[in-house]
Chain A
Amino acid sequence: MAAAQVVRSEWTKIRSVASTVWTLSLAVVVTIALGMLISALSKNEFETMSARDRLAFDPTFISFAGMSLGQLAMIVFGVLVVSNEYSTGMIRASLAAVPRRGTFLSGKLTVATALALVVSMATGFAAFFLGQAMLGEHKASIGDAGVLRAVIGGGLYMTLIALFSMGVAAMLRSPMLSLGILMPFFFLISNILGNVDATKKVGRFLPDQAGSKIMQVVPPLEDETPYGPWGGLGIMALWVVAALIGGYVLLQRRDAQ
């Protein structure tokens, strides 16, 4: 009963602020548009590619290239959904209305995650089909082995990114601090750690590096990744669970400031 009330209230909250529409539509547009652009460029480049590169050519993964930028908008969405409560002070009214803080947090995360999932799935499929249309004769078909898994996985990946951001924001409370940590981490640090040889072994266990494995259909040559597509998504899910537990524990313990 209380959970249903929280869900209804959170739906009102999330639909009544402009930032929801802005961040989510930005995530959709950037992911799809950048995916289409890179798909189109790849099609033109295919002729000049070496045989090795042609072997590792993964049309599905290429159509998801926009996700590296689109996920940043998803992070903003996840951070704002949670930290808005703190930056406005609304959290005091919310927790006074729902003294059981676990119920409050889970209700908020449920609504935001459900919305993120719907948007992410739509984005995943749209990015795939539009990207394949750009690729012309090199395109993959949704019926090919592993492709449907990669497309659904792309939607799950974006959702998990948003959920991870919500957990981090619940821990840090401040939107500036949360964004200041998450944005550079996912945009730069994770990529650097994952591509520098010295840190590659650690870097591939970071949430986005592990999670994006699910979007690959054709594995890169000399792939040494010790986990499969679902294993990678599992590692990412563990990160998300850790962030959520941290957020929950801190919310329970702390004064609601």
Chain B
Amino acid sequence: MIEAVGLTKRYGDKTAVYNLSFQVRPGAVTGFLGPNGSGKSTTMRMILGLDNPTAGQVTIGGYPYRRLPNAPRQVGALLDAKAVHGGRSARNHLLSLAQLSGIPARRVDEVLGVVGLHDVARRRSKGFSLGMGQRLGIAAALLGDPQVLLFDEPVNGLDPEGILWVRNLMKSLAAQGRTVFVSSHLMSEMAVTADHLIVIGRGQLLADMSVTAFISANSADFARVRTPDTEPQQREKLSAAITEAGGHVLPEQDGALRVTGLPLPRISDIAHDSDVRLWELSPHQASLEEAYMRMTQGAVDYRSTIDQKEGLQQPLPPGTQPPLPVPGQGQPGWYAPPPAPPGGQPFAVPQGAPVQPPAGPYGAQGAPGAAPGAPAPNPYAQPAPPAPQGPAPAAAPAAPPAADLTKPEDAR
């Protein structure tokens, strides 16, 4: 059990971690998520007593690490796989760590076998690949057969087979009743590895919840329904009917409707009953990665800016369409808009939030009114109205220009 209370770390005037309180329980894999520079590694080092907190404290089993009796047999950690003397063989590296903790040398050969480095045990670690280095670091963490394990980005540089191996290793360690605390900046990886999530951004706690809770809160299914653009009254009619039937309707920027709370066949039936034609009825799911990025969006330290070279491009010949905005970070519509709140959903962007001007590298080219829902993953959907578009999407020109119909396939 790892417990942090009001943990704060400042380096000069930069606050790396601020007032972080969380618990990591045994018997589960706890994912520690955050963008680069959000304070994950600093927190890990403070847990291990390597950095002294500016304020607050973190304990393992009730003790600060530096006062923990027999610490290396209780806690194992992979902090930095490159933290190895390159001239020392893998076996000697582990042997020196084992001797430091009073662990018998036979255990060194055991863990070398566990991580699959038996054949290169006597080779200098200088020549190791990134993946081999990670395995060596994991071996060092396993040396003391500890009850508490910390891994800082363990899958960095591993091939798919190695990632799968680490994933299963974490799970089996947790299944043995150990406390496993794994940091990562990949939500998708944590979604399949972790049982519990602690998300931080800019050194502050953003979420502390189980993965299932995170999934149900952030990846609700929804259906996108599109009625003929030519008949706006049909849209109103369908909205009313769906709401009456117990569904939630959210209008989207491009005139489509986002429906939650009703299965697709039911929506189709309602449309049929209300005599409304449908141009689109498609199932969608917001991915965890999107939910995570939405959550940490305001807490990213390093963000790309508009490429200034853009101005050097040749002006488009008159008459041609400006390229459609490419989905990318910083463009609000890239993240699937949040699902309808089933009540108390902490991280959704408030409904009706003003659309921010696109800030992404390519986003600037799109007109401010460019429909964020346009790059939807459904190739059969009615293409979005052309980018330079009037402020009121519902009153968009009746039929999109024919040339535009071929555009979406190219754009994707």
Contact = CB atoms under 8 A, between A and B. Distances in A.
Interface of A: 1-2, 5-6, 8-10, 12-13, 16-19, 84, 88-100, 255-256
Given A93-B83, A256-B45, A13 B51 contact: no
A8 B87 CA distance: 19
Nearest to A255: B51
A88 B65 contact: no
A92 B89 contact: no
Contact of B52 (A12, A96, A255): A255
Given A9-B97, A255-B51, 7 more contacts: A5-B100, A16-B89, A92-B45, A93-B140, A96-B48, A96-B72, A99-B67
A65 to B, nearest CB: 33
A118 to B, nearest CB: 20
Given A16-B92, A99-B49, A88 B86 contact: yes
Contacts of B101: 5, 97-98
B285 interface: no
23 contacts: A5-B99, A5-B100, A5-B101, A6-B100, A9-B97, A12-B95, A13-B96, A16-B89, A16-B96, A89-B80, A90-B83, A90-B84, A92-B45, A93-B140, A96-B72, A97-B71, A97-B72, A99-B49, A99-B65, A99-B68, A255-B45, A255-B52, A256-B51
A252 to B, nearest CB: 10
Interface in B83-126: 83-89, 92-93, 95-102
A220 B50 CA distance: 52
B200 interface: no
Contacts of B98: 9
Contacts of B65: 96, 99
Interface of B: 45, 48-52, 65-68, 71-72, 75, 77, 79-80, 82-89, 92-93, 95-102, 140
A94 B100 contact: yes
Leading 10 A-B pairs by shortest Cβ distance: A89-B83, A9-B99, A16-B92, A9-B100, A255-B51, A256-B50, A99-B66, A12-B96, A97-B72, A97-B100
Contacts of A93: 77, 79, 83, 97, 140
B49 A96 contact: yes
Contacts of B82: 89
B362 to A, nearest CB: 38
Contacts of A89: 79-80, 82-84
A75 B318 CA distance: 73
A16 B68 contact: no
B85 A98 contact: no
B50 A95 contact: yes
Contact of B99 (A8, A19, A96): A8
Nearest to A4: B102
Contacts of B86: 88
A2 B73 CA distance: 13
Contacts of B102: 1-2, 5
A97 B51 contact: no
B85 A88 contact: yes
B48 A90 contact: no
Given A12-B99, A97-B97, A92 B79 contact: yes
A88 B45 CA distance: 16
A90 B85 contact: yes
A100 B68 CA distance: 10
A16 B121 CA distance: 13
A12 to B, nearest CB: 4
Nearest to B92: A16
Contacts of B49: 95-96, 99
Nearest to B78: A93
Contacts of A8: 99
Nearest to A253: B52
A254 to B, nearest CB: 9
A96 B96 contact: no
Contacts of B84: 88-90
Nearest to B81: A89
Contacts of A5: 99-102
